[in-house]
Structure 1
Amino acid sequence: MRTMVSGIVVLAVGCGLPLLVPVPALALAEEAPSGREAVPVSRRATPGDGEGPDRRGASPSVRGTGPAGRADTPPFRGMGPAGRGETPVVRGTGPIGRGESPPVREEEVVARDEDPALRWEERPTVGDDALTGPDEPSTVAKPVVLKPGDRGELVKMLQRRMRDGGYYFGKVGGVYDEQTKFGVYAVQKAHRLTPKGAVGSEVWRALDRKPKVHPLVPNGAADRVEVNLTRQLLTLYRDRRPVLYAHISTGAEVRWCHQGRCGDAVTPVGDFKVTRRAPGWTKGDLGAMFNSLYFVGGIALHGATRLPLHPASHGCVRMPVETSKRVYQLVGIGHPVHVRGKVTPPGIF
């Protein structure tokens, strides 16, 4: 680069010292790029005049220094004269080489932040309508809603949280299966939410809170089972603390007849005790039962595969199969069973 200053041509070769060649003083003007007005070359202070770079604190950075338009010295935008110990200044950044890392250009940050593909990879992938598509604005975020059939880490987290709360006793495998759905029903019933299979923000909040379940028999035994017909919810107490909640289906309260036998599908209200236990699957005239705990006549607490959201049994208290395994471990002969409430139309709790 060659610069005319006060009768001296400064030739900077590579990274070496400048070569000073005396010439007659003349005023040079920078030839501006096409369409721009020519800019005079700034006067460079000579050593000793008190106006050097050391006193001003920065190197000159006149755009296009050097005689523009000459093939031997093409201008380099944004750089001051090299060769006097100053560090070249790159346009838009601070001095490089002074212990500071060059900052990332603003346009690179914006491009990275606004690239939806980068954000899309970090989002959960559970549920068909649970996600914001990559073409939607990044400020729009739909809540993740889990539904039966979903798979993934979020389902596994749900199963683990429900198990810790005493609502679910199936496998923590990340598959939203039927047993998981029954656990969700238990969470929703225990927190006075409308039971349904979808898991949204209200279910996650409920898992962080204490269930809205009050003892049906406040002065009951420390270890007991309470059956709420109104909410279709079973609560198991150990040492006066609720440790298990189960979605149940009780007597449909209709008249039934089967193979010449007739009866009323009613789960009796009252205070009872377990009188007999039958492990595993047993089959009677009215259907199959798993891990049965009989508390009055032929009526029992037992596991079942059919558990609708309404009373549907012949009088027994149906519960999820996986939950019945845990109940069978905790409830023995003589264990109190208290049944309260009355059956209401579906969806009313």
Structure 2
Amino acid sequence: MRGRPMGMRKSAVLLISAVLLAGCSGTDEAAPPPASSPVAKPATPTPTPTPTPTHRKLKPGAKGPDVEELQRRLKQLHYDPGKIDGKYGPSTQMAVWAFQAVNRMKQKGTLGTSFWEALADPEEPRPMAKKREKDRVDVDLKRQYLVVYKDGAPRLITHISSGSGELFCTEDRGCRYATTSTGDFRTGRRFSGWETSPLGRLYNPIYFNGGIAFHGALSVPRDPASHGCVRMPMHIAEYFPDLLGANVPVHVRRPR
């Protein structure tokens, strides 16, 4: 049998080589996956800021829900504003005075932002004496408020009006200054209802220093105005004798 021409042999070799190469690098083999694109993270929503509660400015004579909220908060903090009725009357005003005094605030007629902030985060009354009996009364003559403590905690904080410091005269006792003496005393004699004294009428008086008493009065101004007794609002004097027992320590001071 005659052999194939040399040209045909070379063509066959080239064809076989091409087939073998196609078996290693041909398109039949799966191509590597393309590099994955970075996945975008979902945007974090911006938190909505909690709105700060706002209250309208209040002053005596105001009415409405803000006044009722004020009264409820004062009551919660043991300042007695009287009836919770949404009316900013004299009883609420005296409770506000006491709160401002304890928190060392100016006793402004209009309650604004600073007052509402203090009402949300109030200060505790400062003790008047080193000896701090669990049941006692602390009287601050400089800031005109008293605190009744029961079991070591404030049970009542109220505005008062103490001795004016002015000179006055009576027929039987001559002339003297209207002062409320500082010191440590104890509650003693008491009277139910109106008692008439040489210097005026006292409602539900509880005496703690001779003729000096805690008592209700029809007039309890912001400043000291009495002959020496400690005046308090009438709505508080109604139940004050039930709150304050006999022989209870009373600390009267004029702190800085």
Per the alignment, residue 246 of structure 1 pairs with 158
Contact residue 192 and residue 212 of structure 1 kept, 8 A: no
| Offset of residue 291 of structure 1 | 1.7
Bigger Cα Rg: 2
Q: Matched residues, percent identical?
A: 42
Change (3 A) 1:278 1:315: same
Per the alignment, residue 222 of structure 1 pairs with 134
After TM superposition, the structure 1 = structure 2 runs for residues 34-73 of structure 1, keeping only pairs within 5 Å, are: none
AA partner of residue 141 (structure 2): L
Contact residue 148 and residue 154 of structure 2 kept, 8 A: yes
What SS is found at the alignment partner of 2:213? strand
| Offset of residue 334 of structure 1 | 0.5
AA partner of residue 267 (structure 1): T
After TM superposition, the structure 1 = structure 2 runs for residues 1-349 of structure 1, keeping only pairs within 5 Å, are: 144-259=56-171, 261=173, 262-341=175-254
Q: TM-score, normalised by structure 1?
A: 0.54
Instruction: Tell me how far apart the structure 2 counterparts of residues 236 and 188 of structure 1 sit (CA, whole Å).
Output: 17
Instruction: Tell me how far apart the structure 2 counterparts of residues 231 and 204 of structure 1 sit (CA, whole Å).
Output: 20
Instruction: Tell me how far apart the structure 2 counterparts of residues 241 and 154 of structure 1 sit (CA, whole Å).
Output: 28
Contact residue 139 and residue 253 of structure 2 kept, 8 A: yes
What is the aligned length? 202
| Offset of residue 236 of structure 1 | 1.2
What SS is found at the alignment partner of 1:170? coil
Instruction: Tell me how far apart the structure 1 counterparts of residues 242 and 130 of structure 2 sit (CA, whole Å).
Output: 24
CA offsets 1:225-258 (integer angstroms, 9 cap, x no match):
0111121121111111122211111111122113
What SS is found at the alignment partner of 1:230? coil
Instruction: Tell me how far apart the structure 2 counterparts of residues 243 and 172 of structure 1 sit (CA, whole Å).
Output: 18
What SS is found at the alignment partner of 1:207? helix
AA partner of residue 192 (structure 2): P
Contact residue 294 and residue 301 of structure 1 kept, 8 A: yes
CA offsets 1:260-305 (integer angstroms, 9 cap, x no match):
5432211111111111111222232322222211001111011112
| Offset of residue 160 of structure 1 | 1.1
Instruction: Tell me how far apart the structure 2 counterparts of residues 148 and 288 of structure 1 sit (CA, whole Å).
Output: 27
AA partner of residue 159 (structure 2): H
What SS is found at the alignment partner of 1:182? helix
AA partner of residue 161 (structure 1): R
Change (3 A) 1:210 1:218: farther
Q: Answer 1 or 2: which has greater helix percent.
A: 2
Stretches of structure 1 lacking an aligned partner (at least 5 in a row): 1-141, 343-348
CA offsets 1:284-338 (integer angstroms, 9 cap, x no match):
2322222211001111011112122221110001111122234322111101111
AA partner of residue 257 (structure 1): C
Per the alignment, residue 10 of structure 2 pairs with none
Instruction: Tell me how far apart the structure 1 counterparts of residues 161 and 58 of structure 2 sit (CA, whole Å).
Output: 24
What SS is found at the alignment partner of 1:189? helix
Stretches of structure 2 lacking an aligned partner (at least 5 in a row): 1-53
Change (3 A) 1:188 1:145: same
Instruction: Tell me how far apart the structure 1 counterparts of residues 94 and 252 of structure 2 sit (CA, whole Å).
Output: 21
AA partner of residue 336 (structure 1): P
What SS is found at the alignment partner of 1:337? strand
CA offsets 1:4-47 (integer angstroms, 9 cap, x no match):
xxxxxxxxxxxxxxxxxxxxxxxxxxxxxxxxxxxxxxxxxxxx
Moved over 4 A (4+): none
AA partner of residue 328 (structure 1): P
AA partner of residue 240 (structure 2): V
Contact residue 81 and residue 94 of structure 2 kept, 8 A: no
Q: Choose between structure 1 and 2 for higher RCO, CA contacts under 8 A separated by at least 6 residues.
A: 2
Q: TM-score, normalised by structure 2?
A: 0.73
